[in-house]
Amino acid sequence: MEPLDDPNDSNDPNDPNDPNELNEASKLYKTAIEADIKPVVELKNVDLVYVTDREVLLALTGMNLNVHSGELVSLVGPSGCGKTTLLSLIAGLMFPSRGEVLVHSHKVNGPSPEVGYMLQQDYLFPWRTILSNATLGLELTKRLNNDSREMVIELLEGMGLGNTTELYPHQLSGGMRQRVALVRTLATNPDLLLLDEPFSALDYQTKLQLEDLVVDTLRQRGKTGILVTHDLSEAIAVSDRVIVLAAKPGKVRTIYDIPDNIRLAQPFYAREESGFNELFHEIWRDLETLDGRGE
């Protein structure tokens, strides 16, 4: 993703990796851990090794991460830093080679209805109507009945999709389809949402609208969210914390706490808040040094 402004235009004289600043950030993070008794997601010394016929690849190493209830955390980093792998671990689609992944203090041993997953594209099933796409999760978890179907219809109506229930996915625009995918994810009522670049396939305008919708929805329902994104300004605008990952092997490099004025604003307006550009450039430089290091 390109920066909105040229990073060289910034006349911020500070060193991007100013030690005081980093200490402050990690101190804030520590108090958050102490205040919260049980994080929703805990990764403890997670290593993940991919084994193929040709090679063994260390995808993630020494990964420690806590995500607290109601928090929205973004993961950014160069490709190959294991962002999607990390989500798969939390979703229970993959298991760590070493270390532990806990959700609600329970070791993850498979997909669970508490965790919702949203993919890069909508992946609505073309042979199902919108309503039956949205109720897929309920169907699979054997919770589909008249009440839950009614609830899904209300969810669809709440997102302006009330008159599409009997249509097929190809009859809807990309933004509408991604909203249906959001309803499909929310229908099983997960309290943790894993968002794997859900806005990346959309045009810019739709993407901004959907960011607002997703953030509003998560906040109103008190859900916890982990967002993987390539778009740094999106990461800053929507989340409470931005976690920069280093690649090859993937590990946490820096954690940025987003100031209140930015994180509490709607994503669309957050981009205009004071301090947004400075933070953007700071993280941008962090990412650039990462790119310089990679082969």
Partner 1 sequence: MEGGSEPLTGGKNMDAEWINEKWREHTKNKKVSSRLVWSTQLAILIACIVLWELAGRLRWVDVLIFSYPSKIGRQIVNDALNGELWPHLAMTVGETVVGFLLGTLVGTLLAVLIWWSPFLSKVLDPYMVVFNSMPKVALGPIFIVLFGAGFTAIVITTLSITVIVTTLVVFNSFNEVDRNYIKVIRTFGGNRRDIFLKAIFPASFPTIVSTLKVNVGMAWVGVIVGEFLVAKIGLGYLIVYGFQVFNFTLVLSSLVIIAIVATAMYQLVVYIERKLIRER
Residue with tokens 């190959």: 80
166 touches partner 1 (CB under 8 A): no
As measured in angstroms, the least distance from the Cβ of 47 to partner 1 is 23
Name beta bridge partners: 58. Answer: 49
Candidates 36-44, 134-142, 204-212, 242-250 — which segment interacts with partner 1 by CB under 8 A?
Answer: 134-142
List of E strands, 132-288 = 192-196, 224-228, 241-246, 251-257
116 binds partner 1 (CB under 8 A): yes
Q: Collect all residues with Cβ–Cβ distance below 8 Å to 20 and sequence separation of at least 6.
A: none
Applying CB under 8 A, among 7, 70, 113, 174 the residue interacting with partner 1 is: 113
Residue selected from 1, 58, 119, 153 as contacting partner 1 according to rule CB under 8 A: 119
Tell which one of 7, 25, 104, 121 touches partner 1 (CB under 8 A).
Answer: 121
Pick one of 25, 58, 93, 151: the residue that binds partner 1 (CB under 8 A): 93
Nearest residue to 63 (alpha-carbon basis) of 88, 27, 38: 88
- Of the candidate spans 54-62, 135-143, 238-246, 283-291, the one that interacts with partner 1 by CB under 8 A turns out to be 135-143
Residue closer to partner 1, measured from CB, 109 or 205: 109
Structure tokens belonging to residue 116: 């919702």
Any contact of residue 53 with partner 1 (CB under 8 A)? no
Cβ neighbours of 123 (radius 10 Å): 14
Residue 33 DSSP SS3: helix
Region of 123-131, 234-242, 243-251, 286-294 interacting with partner 1 (CB under 8 A): 123-131
Long-range contacts formed by 199-206: CB under 8 A, 24+ apart: 199/229, 199/231, 199/234, 200/120, 200/229, 200/230, 200/231, 201/120, 201/121, 201/174, 202/174, 202/175, 202/178, 203/174, 203/175, 206/173, 206/174, 206/175, 206/178
Sign of the four-CA dihedral 273, 119, 203, 284? positive
Q: Which is nearer to partner 1, 190 or 267 (CB)?
A: 190
Q: Is 292 one of the binding residues for partner 1 (CB under 8 A)?
A: no
Residue 174 binds partner 1 (CB under 8 A): no
Which range touches partner 1 (CB under 8 A), out of 40-48, 70-78, 111-119, 277-285? 111-119
For partner 1, the binding residues (CB under 8 A) are 91, 93, 110-113, 115-117, 119-121, 123, 125-127, 136-137, 139-141, 168, 188
